[in-house]
Structure 1
Amino acid sequence: MHPLVYALLQFAFFYPLIMAFFWMSGGLYYFFRRERKARDRHDPPPLEHYPFASILIPCHNEADNLEDTLGAALNQRYPDYEVIAINDGSSDDTGVRLDALVLQHPRLRVIHLDRNMGKANALRMGALAAHSDYLVCIDGDAMLESYATHWLVWHLTSGPRVGAVTGNPRIRNRSTLLGRLQVAEFSSIIGMIKRAQRVYGRIFTISGVIAGFRRTALHRIGYWAEDMVTEDIDISWRLQLDHWDIRYEPNALCFILMPETLRGLWRQRLRWAQGGVEVALRHARALLSWRSRRMWGLLLEYLFSVVWAYTMATILVLWVLGRFIPMPPQLYISSVLPHWHGVMLALVCLAQFASSLIIDRRYETHVGRNYFWVIWYPVAYWLISLLTTVVAVPKTLLKPRGKRATWVSPDRGIR
């Protein structure tokens, strides 16, 4: 076997193995150090004073979700807050329903934008209209748990350098295999990664579906970028490049809808992958300065994930070619089916799921019932991750610069 092919195979195996142990160790350290004996989420730590807070909800064609989302936002166990819904050029009856709801709820304010200008612009308009320096931003289909605002504001008021807090999204729709897989993914992968990144010092991305911000920090960096496909990744990197602290609060729960079709999942993950490429390209020069050295680990982690995706793609291409045309022995790959190394990866994957179950049962008592389906996770998500990354890199490089990122209604699952 050619040395380069051998190196590719070794990297394809060892990278996910090492990263799994990296996330498990960091996630479990976070749990035993900060969560195991922490307060119950329904008994958040008291504040010396309760500053006014603003909940921002950008909406585009959210008529079907408004009552659930606004009902949860208006039912927060927090003494002093407002809810601002930003109707960003909806083509359905979102605007009409918001106008009816604002007459029923004195805490609710509505901003109407005449055309689709994108989520980043909607959030910016909401932030400028807010009466508070503490902003809780959620998506138009998200349902905040009743104490979520309290937990987020508690972090933002705990130190002058806390610029943002990311919450803990939970999946609402679980009627299909894809839905159940995403329950496991958000707890055992995304939640564990955020815990580990918090331990190691920098968080790759705030969850755009639920996050708290200090408006002063947003003002310093110019608010959300309107030409980025994923405004949440970009705002996370820019805040940390400006030396603001970003925290993770697992008690700040938010229940969300996720895609339950392969097409919807592909579109969502391709957008996420493209957003990562955009951010890395835009901030590469700033990241290489000595002042940004604390971000180097995050950048290296991301670059290795891109290299891994292209490595796996190369291996698959060589294997497919070997099925149809004669290949030199040095480049011939006999099989991509798992052998002993595949069994090892599967065992490590199950260990990661078991670790996350220990952590996550604190937030969902019956979350373990969804772990029967995680055996399909490596096939479903490692494959879609490498494919979306491979597609996202050239797509981002060919994207016109400065093009505004407008709303595209996502797949919200099977109704």
Structure 2
Amino acid sequence: MFIWIEGFLSLKRVDPPLEPGSPYPPASAIIAAYLPNEAATILDTIDAFLKIDYPNQFQVVLAYNSPVELPIEKTLQEIQARNPRLSLLKVLNSTSKAQNVNAALDMIGGEFVGIFDADHQPNPDSFTRAWRWLSNGIDIIQGHCVVRNGDASFISRTVAVEFEVIYGSSHPGRTRWHQFGIFGGSNGYWKTELLRKTRMHGFMLTEDIDSSFRALEGGSVILSDPQLFSKELAPVNLPALWHQRMRWAQGWFQVSLKHFWTGLRSNKFSWRQKLGLFWLLGWREIYPWISLQIFPLIAFWVLKYHGVDRLNWLIPIFVLATLFTFSVGPGQTIFAYLVAAKEIKDHPKWFWLYLLASMLFYTELKNIIARVAQVKQVLKEQQWKITPRGEGKPAE
């Protein structure tokens, strides 16, 4: 039921005020990169950031770590020499995105800052739109991440539509329903002082989600804007997708263990927000296990009534519950299509393929990943595996 409510709420477009609440201040962008993994894409990323249209000082900090000197570093230094907007920061002894972001906080001069992964290419007006939110009572604004290599493989096409489900429909709808959003790690904009106070915790696999809840527990306001676009690369094969989603799932489980009870006890949250916390940090974690219970239940009935052929599959409540459950996937896909970014919406076939994949195997694959991730956390197995950047021309 919650998923349907989120979907309907996401259909209404909500834009920031036409004018900022205060004049545009200096702004900064932090691009966090593990350079050996980003060498093939980082120049395109830098080019996109240097084309940002902003009416005041704009600073781009590339905060990166690399175990060895790379030829691309010389090229980056040459770009920095030509363009005063770009600042390079090699973070020695860093082993995480969190360390890179925290190190960059010491050198940024903007009143607000956007955080990005190294494959992101934000729209030229992103920072002006973000400030129209931040200057009118919002502390953190999360944008819409759009996959730009959807034509590279079946996996990347699936993720392209999934991101429309997440960033186009679920996040905005959930923000309006539960009255709080989350920072998703990239294409998110913070008031600088809040980010300096919160910082990123490198011991969390999803330091972005953890920082979101720490900010929320401090009374901050987080919003999701599906019209605040940035393009990124999706995994192009199953192993890359598996490792990425395993980290996400285990990281979310860490956050749930850390913030579930704290959030429910907090006087900073309304009852509606606590309902959202229960949904995000409670139900979402136990559902992958609950979804398996239909199998022992059917097995019990088969044993009790001495055969599959003796079961009554047309019990009204069972039929209605089954139909409602199976309607969620098509419903999410329709909502995603209605609110999708144009470059993804121009490929309706991708949405049909996503729907088919979700109904046949993709949803259960994500449930399997969630269950394995929880077991890994219980066994204290924690390993960060770099997600290789996908390739392929962007979808037109």
- The bucket for the TM-score relative to the shorter chain is 0.7 to 0.9
**Counterpart in the other structure of 1:207:** 184
1:333 Cα shift? 7.9
Q: What is aligned with 1:14?
A: none
* Count of residue pairs the alignment pairs up: 377
2:304 equivalent among 325, 329, 349: 329
What residue number does 1:413 align with? Answer: 390
Taking the TM superposition and a 5 Å limit, the aligned residue runs for 1:69-218 are 69-79=45-55, 80-91=57-68, 92-159=70-137, 162-175=138-151, 176-203=153-180, 205-218=182-195
Q: Which amino acid aligns with 1:234?
A: D
1:171-194, CA deviations, whole angstroms, 9 ceiling, x for partnerless residues?
011122222222221113442111
Pairing of 1:252-267 with structure 2 (within 5 A):
252-267=228-243
Distance 2:357 2:89 in 1: 43
CA deviation after TM superposition for structure 1 residue 128, in Å: 1.8
Query: Does structure 1 conserve the Cα–Cα contact (< 8 Å) formed by 2:145 and 2:167?
Result: no
Hey, what does 1:22 align to over in structure 2?
5
Distance 1:181 1:215 in 2: 35
Q: Structure 1: where are the runs of 5+ without partners?
A: 1-17
| Kept in 1: contact 2:175–2:224 (CA 8 A) | yes
- 8 Å contact kept, 1:87–1:95: no
Work out whether residues 57 and 85 of structure 1, in 8 Å CA contact, stay in contact via their aligned partners in 2.
yes
Match of residue 359 from structure 2: 378
Partners of 1:395 and 1:355 lie apart in 2 by 34
Corresponding residue for 2:204?
A: 228
Q: Is the 8 A contact 1:163 1:214 kept in 2?
A: yes
Amino acid at match of 2:59: E
- Aligned partners of 2:349 and 2:22: how far apart in 1? 40
Which ranges of structure 2 fall in alignment gaps of 5 or more residues? none
SS of residue paired to 2:145: strand
Q: Is the 8 A contact 2:21 2:136 kept in 1?
A: no
Change (3 A) 1:346 1:311: closer
Q: CA separation of 1:174/1:316 partners in 2, compared to 1, >3 Å: closer, same or farther?
A: farther
How many angstroms apart in 1 are the aligned matches of 2:308 and 2:119? 46
Q: CA deviation at 1:114?
A: 2.3
In structure 2, how many angstroms separate the alpha carbons of the residues matched to 1:89 and 1:413? Answer: 20
Task: Provide the residue aligned with 2:291 in structure 1.
Answer: 312
Give the % identical residues.
Answer: 20
1:366 aligns with 346
Distance 1:25 1:102, change over 3 A: same
Amino acid at match of 2:8: S
Cα root mean square deviation, aligned: 3.1
CA–CA separation in structure 1 for the residues paired with 2:229 and 2:244: 21
Instruction: Give the match's secondary structure for 1:111.
Output: strand
- Distance in 2 (CA, whole Å) between partners of 1:124 and 1:178 is 33
Q: Which amino acid aligns with 2:28?
A: S
Counterpart-to-counterpart distance in 2, 1:172 and 1:262: 18
Q: Distance in 2 between matches of 1:203 and 1:385?
A: 24
Q: Is 1:85–1:109's contact at 8 Å kept on the other side of the alignment?
A: yes
Partner of 1:13: none
* 1:138–1:208 Cα contact (<8 Å) kept: yes
- The answer to whether the Cα contact below 8 Å between 1:77 and 1:147 also exists between their aligned partners in 2 is yes
Whether the 8 Å CA contact 1:286–1:292 is kept in 2: the answer is no
Partners of 2:308 and 2:195 in 1: how far apart? Answer: 51
Confirm or deny: 8 A CA contact 1:87 1:94 kept in the other structure.
no
Match of 2:329 in 1: 349
Q: Equivalents in 2 of 1:395, 1:22: separation in Å?
A: 33
- Residue of 269, 288, 299 corresponding to 2:277: 299
TM-score (normalizing by structure 2): 0.85
Matched residue, 2:24 = 50
TM-score, L = length of structure 1:
0.81
| Amino acid paired to 2:359 | P
Distance 1:349 1:380 in 2: 12
Shift in Å, 1:394 = 2.0
Letter in 2 for 1:215: T
* Structure 1 residues 99 and 204, CA gap change in structure 2 (3 angstroms): same
Instruction: Please tell me the residue identity of whatever aligns with 1:59.
Output: A
CA contact (8 A) 1:151 1:251 kept: no
Q: Is this contact kept in 1: 2:150–2:234, CA < 8 A?
A: no
